[in-house]
Amino acid sequence: MAGHSRWHNIRNKKAKADAIKGRMFTKVIREITIAARLGGGDPEANPRLRMAIEKAKEVNMPMENVERAIKRGTGELEGVNYEEVQYEGYGPGGVAIVVEATTDNRNRTTAEIRHIFSKYGGNLGSSGCVSFLFEDKGIINVPKDKYSEDEIFEKAIEAGAEDVIMDDPEYYEIRTTPSEFYKVKENLEKMGVEIAKAELTKIPTTTVQITDEETATKLMKLLDALEDNDDVQKVYANFDIPESILEKLEG
C-alpha cells in the first residue's frame, strides 16, 4: 500500500493548490451544512461538525462562511438541501472505486459520475458491487518524530484505538472503528497528542496490482477527474502502484 499512500500525498498537495482557487470551499461548506442538519449546530455536541469546522480552518475559510453554512444546515437560513450519495464502479485494471458525494440533484450527479467513469476507461456499477472490498475505519495520523513506537502504541490503546500502523515514513496511523473515532480522537487530544490529520475513511481489504505505466496513467486521470467534480467529497480505490511508476506520474 506504499504506492497508495504516495497517491494520497500527491492528492493532498493538489488539495492545497485547489484551496487557493476555492475548489475545496464548496466541498467543506457542503460537509458543514450536512453535519449541522444531521447533528445540530453546536460543534461541542456534534463531533462531525467540529471536524468539518477544523477542515474549514485548514483551507482558510472565513468564519462568516462557516456560520452561514451551519445556519443553512439547521434551517435558520434558507439554503440548498443536500443529500449524501455513494457510487461504486471499476477503473482501468479492474480497480474497485467508491465515490462519496453530496448533491442537490441526484440525477445530475449520477450522470456526471457515469460520464467520468466512461470517459477514462472505467464503468459505473450498481450499489454494493465493490463496497464489500473496503472496511470503514477512523484514521488518526500522528507525527513519528514526536513519539516512540512504544509511546504512541500505549497512548493509542489507552485512548480506545484498535491498532497502530507503522508503515508510513512520516506518520503513525492510529486506526479506530467508525463508532469510536471521535471519542478516540478526543481522548488523544486530552492526552496532549499532536494530531496531523484525522478522518473517517475506507480501507481496502485487498488490492489490485497495477504494474504498467499506461494503465496507471489512465487510472490516475479517472481518480483525479472524480475528485475534481464539485459534488464529490471523497474517492476510495483499492490499487497498489509501484513507487517508481508513481514518481513518473508525479513528475
Instruction: Please give the angle made by the CA atoms of 140, 94 and 6, to the nearest 5 degrees.
Output: 35
pTM flag (> 0.95): no
Confidence at residue 81, expressed as pLDDT on a 0 to 100 scale = 87
Confidence at residue 5, expressed as pLDDT on a 0 to 100 scale = 53
Model pLDDT for residues 162-194, shown as the tens digit of each residue: 999 998 899 999 999 999 999 999 999 999 999
Confidence at residue 205, expressed as pLDDT on a 0 to 100 scale = 95
Domains of the chain: 2-74 (1.10.10.200), 83-131+206-250 (3.30.70.980), 133-204 (3.30.70.980)
Q: What are residue 226's phi and psi, to 5 degrees?
A: -65, -50
- Do 178 and 137 touch, CB atoms closer than 8 A? yes
- Residues of the chain short of pLDDT 50, as ranges, are 1-3
Confidence at residue 18, expressed as pLDDT on a 0 to 100 scale = 58
Q: Which grid cell sits at 3?
A: 504506492
Starting from the edge strand earliest in sequence, which strands make up the sheet with 232-237, in order? Answer: 123-124, 83-90, 96-103, 232-237
* Spatial distance between the Cα atoms of 222 and 202, rounded to a whole number of angstroms: 18
- H helices of the chain, in order, are 2-21, 23-39, 47-58, 63-74, 106-119, 149-159, 181-190, 213-228, 243-250
Mean pLDDT of the residues in the chain: 91
Residue 165's CB is within 10 A of a number of other CB atoms, namely: 14
